[in-house]
């Protein structure tokens, strides 16, 4: 279903975003990654829920509410065509 596609895309986006925030290339070794030395400015996770796994739960922790708004706006934009309007303003 379309909703399942949106859910999968959001989960992949969150995984990619957190990977980029948490892992940085190790100096002198391009093939391996090591845990970053700086703390990320946000922590985001996403998981499925419900009897058929078609629902989704996002957990977002940042210092500013503006960051939360920005993340939600970007991640929920793909739902516009399904709903006929933006789910987030």
Contact 6/13 with Cβ under 8 angstroms? no
Other Cβ atoms within 10 Å of 7 Cβ, number = 20
Angle between helices 65-76 and 2-22 (to 10 degrees): 140
Q: Name the more confident of 2 and 24.
A: 2
Domain ranges of the chain: 2-83
Q: What is the pTM of this model?
A: 0.62
Closest CA to 43 of 24, 69, 66, 15: 15
Q: Average of pLDDT values for 5-18? A: 84
Residues 47, 61: contact at Cβ < 8 Å? no
Query: 25-83: per-residue pLDDT in tens?
Result: 544 444 444 555 567 788 888 888 888 887 888 888 888 999 888 888 888 888 888 77
Q: What is the pLDDT of residue 4?
A: 79
What is the distance between the alpha carbons of residues 24 and 51, in angstroms, rounded to a whole number? Answer: 37
């Amino acid at each position: 279903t379309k909703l399942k596609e949106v859910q999968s895309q959001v989960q992949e986006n969150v995984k990619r975003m957190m990977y980029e925030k948490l892992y940085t290339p190790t100096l002198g070794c391009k093939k391996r990654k090591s845990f970053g030395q700086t703390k990320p400015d946000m922590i985001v996770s996403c998981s499925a829920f419900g009897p058929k796994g078609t629902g989704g739960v996002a957990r977002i922790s940042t210092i500013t509410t503006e960051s939360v708004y920005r993340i939600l706006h970007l991640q929920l934009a793909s739902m516009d065509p399904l709903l006929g309007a933006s789910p987030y303003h």
